[in-house]
Amino acid sequence: MNYNIAIIPGDGIGPEVTAQAQKALDAIADMFDHHFTYTPALMGACAIDATGNPLPEETIDICEAADAILFGAIGHPKYDNDPNAKVRPELGLLRLRKSLGLFCNIRPVKAYDQLIERSPLKKDRIVGTDISIYRELTGGIYFGEKHLSDDGQVASDGCSYSVEEISRIAHLAFKEALSRKRKLTLVDKANVLETSRLWRKTVTEIAKEYPDVELDFLFVDNAAMQMILNPKQFDVILTENLFGDIISDEASVIGGSIGLLASASIGTDNALFEPIHGSFPQATGKDIANPLASILSAALLLRHLNLHKEAALVEKAVEKSLELGFTTEDLNAENPFGTSKVGDFIADFI
Amino acid sequence: MNYNIAIIPGDGIGPEVTAQAQKALDAIADMFDHHFTYTPALMGACAIDATGNPLPEETIDICEAADAILFGAIGHPKYDNDPNAKVRPELGLLRLRKSLGLFCNIRPVKAYDQLIERSPLKKDRIVGTDISIYRELTGGIYFGEKHLSDDGQVASDGCSYSVEEISRIAHLAFKEALSRKRKLTLVDKANVLETSRLWRKTVTEIAKEYPDVELDFLFVDNAAMQMILNPKQFDVILTENLFGDIISDEASVIGGSIGLLASASIGTDNALFEPIHGSFPQATGKDIANPLASILSAALLLRHLNLHKEAALVEKAVEKSLELGFTTEDLNAENPFGTSKVGDFIADFI
Ligand SMILES: CC(C)[C@H](C(=O)O)[C@@H](O)C(=O)O
Ligand SMILES: CC(C)[C@H](C(=O)O)[C@@H](O)C(=O)O
């Protein structure tokens, strides 16, 4: 079979880790006689530098034509602390999510046995943690109207949600819960926000269609506590864009390494896969970045293409590299392997 | 000296714990020949039940006339999951903050030696943690315009900040940093939000007046990670209302017990002191609620009245109760003391 894959390496360590994921995909292609056509595309700081636009039209076209998208990372410090910057790299990613309608971001959080000792949390609190976070990705305050008064004295951001936006991701989350432990936790701030109250109302309504799923609610401040106090209590978490951003990053530390967390952003006609870690500018070009999250993103991409056997093989190769300590310095201080060497190992093992 | 203290016991365990704080204040009054006049006032679910209004006018009057306010907790589950409820208990607290102009919420986060083993985090990550969180309390999305479309399909919340709102709390936070380790971290989401960019710009500007304070920036998602990975890196954290709500609750688990965290909400003419924990409905009336955070809130109140010797004595009594295990069941599973007994012990020790 032939598959078109858009590759957006992005900024910082994005290109290095994405290259390793491509090696894994190549190995899979060889083995199973698939053909992957990769089309590279620009987004982020590198796109601003090259074209002035964090998301060139061409990138959208390439993504729309692709069967799936593999993305690296975005962001560069030279844009972060310049409040007057006219364009920001992150805008590229936000616009891509919006243009492709990638409304559902899924982030699995698991405690890997091999990494559990590295977690900042005590072992007994986290053994067995297995959470699937469903974060709404194309609404809320991320995409509300932004305004700065002419005299620069007052800034504002609008946050809004419609029943339709809430419903489509809620159904996906309930279905996910059905295939897991049948528990869904809605994280909101319904004691303060009107949008949260609409979430709570809509999700409560939809819950009636899933009588086998137990639904509960947590205010986001309490959720931020519970995630640390007792992460095992969670099965599927459903939440809006900004709360999802914060809670899922917080949850990413539980497992002992953010270098292993992949995520999927799903729309009606498209899907994008990326590691959770950022562009990590300090590590760029040093061959020290951990490529495993990017490789696991490629595994998620394979699953999306219904290539489950292939995906399982990639995941097994990652576990093997953990087992044998064939890992980068963040996981293996004594005897670290380079980014590229780890990629080679995974491809060989496949 | 005579001091007028407004007492707002509030909901759930609020009344029980506030009563213990009052015992401590009485003991101080006896010892130092002060006179505290307490005026009780209603707010929250109990105020709705009694008057239909979560913040009766009278409560505002009492608070305005007081030298300081001691508050318990707010919220009742019967209002939480009813998206159609017309009034909510929390509205009382939000309105009080706004009417009294309590714009600066200060939450200290410390790892107490006696409790460190109880923390979900590993000891070596947290020993020495000492953070002071400055959360803006009367602006942002909490107080923006809320709207629900007539057909109930679209909800919205506005978020806005002015340079003035940002500046007044920023100055307080920089001053706090000067008296501590001289490091200030602004937590925002400047890569997405216009309001965050105004925060970053304004705080960067103000930093020039405090050349001895090192200023750095963290995106809120990264801050949620760093708080767990390495809380010792923080000294003073400055942030807007909603991020402060989430990050400070997350931080509250570090020390091993939220039952020991007090907070102050400061305005130009008024100040309110309260435990960080909520109304904990399940524990209400059972004489099991931990009163120490409320007692420590009373200590903060004494400091606000410039009664530093007195405050130190209350704090010492709390440490003594920890040392001797004279504590409630959350801290002392084997041989727990009741809420009221712990209050008596603290008062006696004073
Ligand atoms: C880069 C940034 C705009 C983005 C977000 O906030 O959504 C990132 O933090 C993420 O979670 O993918
Ligand atoms: C009760 C609620 C409205 C309040 C808030 O969100 O500010 C509480 O969580 C707090 O932090 O004091």
Query: Is the domain of A81 the same as that of A147?
Result: no
Closest listed residue to residue A310, CA positions, set A27, A4, A28, A6: A28
Radius of gyration of chain A (CA): 20
Res. B137: pLDDT tops 70: yes
User: What's the rounded Cα separation, in Å, for the pair A119 and A286?
Assistant: 25
* Average of per-residue pLDDT across B309-334: 93
Kindly give the residue spans of alpha helices, DSSP state H, lying in A66-213. Answer: 77-80, 89-100, 123-126, 163-178, 194-207
Helix axes B308-323, B292-304, angle to 10 degrees: 160
Mean pLDDT of A331-348: 94
Domain co-membership, B65 together with B85: yes
Asked whether residue A159 falls in the same domain as residue A212, the answer is yes
The identity of residue A40, as a single letter, is: P
Query: In terms of domains, do B233 and B182 share one?
Result: yes
Q: Are residues A46 and A59 in the same domain?
A: yes
**For B25-38, what is each residue's pLDDT tens digit?**
999 999 999 999 99
Handedness of CA A140, A145, A146, A147 (dihedral sign): negative
Q: Distance between CA A45 and CA A42 in Å, rounded?
A: 9
Contact across the interface for B164 and A147, Cβ inside 8 Å: no
pLDDT for the residue numbered A141: 98
Check whether A84 has a pLDDT greater than 70: no
- State the pLDDT at residue B122: 95
Helix (H) or strand (E) holding B201: helix B194-207
pLDDT band, very low/low/confident/very high, at B256 (cuts 50, 70, 90): confident
Active site residue A67: no
For residue B221, list chain A residues with Cβ-Cβ distance below 8 A: 245-246, 248-250
Mean pLDDT of B119-126: 94
pLDDT of res. A82: 67
Report residue A341 CA to chain centroid gap: 24
Contact at CB, A192 and B90, closer than 8 angstroms: yes
- pLDDT tens-digit profile of B169-221? 999 999 999 999 999 999 999 999 999 999 999 999 999 999 999 999 999 99
| Claim to verify: residue A177 and residue A107 sit in the same structural domain | yes
Mean pLDDT of chain A: 95
Q: What is the pLDDT of residue A318?
A: 95
- Clarify whether residues A199 and A87 are in a common domain: no
Active site residue B142: yes
A 77-136 → B contacts, CB under 8 A: 80-81, 83-84, 88, 90, 94, 120-122, 125
Q: Which residues on chain A are in Cβ contact (under 8 Å) with B88?
A: 191
DSSP secondary structure of B52-77: S-SS-HHHHHHHHHSSEEEEEE---H
CA A127 to chain CA centroid, nearest Å: 22
Decide if A69 contacts A267 (C-beta within 8 A).
no
State yes or no: pLDDT of B83 exceeds 80: no
A253 contacts in B (CB within 8 Å)?
Answer: 225, 228-229
What is the per-residue pLDDT across A93-104, written as a single tens digit (0 to 9) for each?
A: 999 999 999 999
State the closest ligand 1 atom to the C-alpha of A248, by its place in the atom list counted from 1: 11
Closest chain B residue by Cα to residue A242: B221
pLDDT tier at B87, thresholds 50, 70, 90: confident
Q: Which residue lies with its CA nearest to atom 11 of ligand 1?
A: A245
Catalytic residue check, B221: yes
Given a cut of 90, is residue B147 above it in pLDDT? yes
CATH number, domain containing residue A189 = 3.40.718.10
Q: B125 and B94 in one domain?
A: no
**DSSP letter (8 states) at residue B86:** S
Pairing verdict, β A104-110 and A130-136: antiparallel
Closest CA to B200 of A103, A81, A104, A307: A81
C-alpha dist (Å) from residue A248 to A220, A257, B117, B133, B285: 12, 13, 26, 22, 36
What's the pLDDT at A87?
83
**Per the residue annotation, which of A26, A49, A130, A249 is the catalytic one?**
A249
Domain end marker among A243, A259, A275: A259
Q: At what angle do helices A241-251 and B220-229 cross, to 10 degrees?
A: 20
Question: Token match 């620009």: residue?
Answer: A42
- Quote the pLDDT of residue B84: 66
Would you say residue A13 has pLDDT above 90? Answer: yes
Residues A114 and A248 in one domain: yes
Q: Whose CA is nearest to atom 7 of ligand 1?
A: A245
Cross-strand partners of B274:
B263
Render pLDDT for A40-75 as a digit per residue (tens, 0 to 9): 999 999 999 999 999 999 999 999 999 999 999 999
Interface A–B counts its CB contacts (< 8 A) at 192
Q: What is the mean pLDDT of residues B76-85?
A: 74
Looking only at the bridges linking them, the beta strands covering A35-40 and A2-10 are parallel
Binding site per annotation, positions of A for substrate: 97, 107, 135, 221
Say how many CA atoms lie within 13 Å of A21 toward its Cβ.
Answer: 36
Cα–ligand 1 centroid distance for A141 (angstroms): 13
Q: Which residues contact B237 (CB under 8 A, 6 or more apart)?
A: B131, B132, B133, B134, B184, B185, B187, B223, B247
Cβ partners under 8 Å of residue B10, min gap 6: B18, B43, B44, B46, B71, B72, B73, B74, B279
pLDDT single digits (tens) A239-263: 999 999 999 999 999 988 888 999 9
Which of A234, A259, A284 is the endpoint of a domain?
Answer: A259
- pTM score, two decimals? 0.94
Q: Which residue of A has its CA nearest to B218?
A: A80
**Residue among B88, B189, B245 minimizing CB distance to A221:** B245
Domain boundary residue, one of B209, B232, B260: B260
Three-state SS sequence of A44-95: CHHHHHHHCCCCCHHHHHHHHHCCEEEEEECCCHHHHCCCCCCCCHHHHHHH
> Half-sphere exposure of A174 toward its Cβ, with a 13 Å CA cutoff?
21
Tell me if chain A has a CB within 8 Å of the CB of B53: no
Q: How far apart are CA B296 and CA B318, in angstroms?
A: 8
Residues having CB closer than 6 A to ligand 1 are: A 74-75, 90, 93-94, 245; B 191-192, 221
Verify that B56 and B72 share a domain, yes or no: yes
The pLDDT tens digits of the residues spanning B53-74 come to 999 999 999 999 999 999 999 9
Total tally of structural domains belonging to chain A: 2
- Sort out which chain B residues have CB atoms less than 8 A from A152's CB and list them: 163, 198
* pLDDT score at B24: 97
Looking up tokens 């059972």, which residue turns up? B286
What pLDDT digit, counting tens, does each position of A142-153 carry? Answer: 999 999 999 999
Same domain for A172 and A230?
Answer: yes
Q: Please give the annotated binding residues of B for substrate, written as ranges.
A: 97, 107, 135, 221
Q: Which of B26, B130, B245, B344 does the annotation list as catalytic?
A: B245
Choose the weakest-confidence range: A135-139, A197-201, B255-259. B255-259
Cα of A228 from ligand 2 centre, angstroms: 19
> Using CA atoms, how far apart are residues A279 and B17, in angstroms rounded to an integer?
47
Nearest to B160 among A155, A190, A243 (CB): A155
Residue nearest to atom 2 of ligand 2 (CA): B90
Largest CA distance in chain B: 62
**What whole-number distance in Å separates Cα of residue A288 and Cα of residue A277?**
14
Contact B18, B26 (CB under 8 A): no
Which residues of chain A make contact with B83, given a CB cutoff of 8 A?
A: 190, 197-198, 200-201, 204
User: What pLDDT, on a 0 to 100 scale, did the predictor assign at position B214?
Assistant: 98
- Tell me what pLDDT residue B88 has: 87
CB B156 within 8 A of CB B146: yes
pLDDT bucket at A180, cuts 50 / 70 / 90: very high
> Where in the sequence is the domain holding A118, given as residue range(s)?
103-259
Which atom belonging to ligand 1 lies closest to the Cα atom of A249?
A: 11
Q: How far is residue B350's CA from residue B25's CA, in Å, rounded to a whole number? A: 10
**B189 close to B219: Cβ distance less than 8 angstroms:** yes
Q: What's the gap in Å between the CA of B347 and the closest CA on chain A?
A: 31
Residues B174 and B217 reside in one and the same domain: yes
User: In the predicted model, is pLDDT for residue A8 greater than 70?
Assistant: yes
A185, β-bridge pairs? A216, A237
Q: What percent of chain A is predicted at pLDDT more than 70?
A: 99
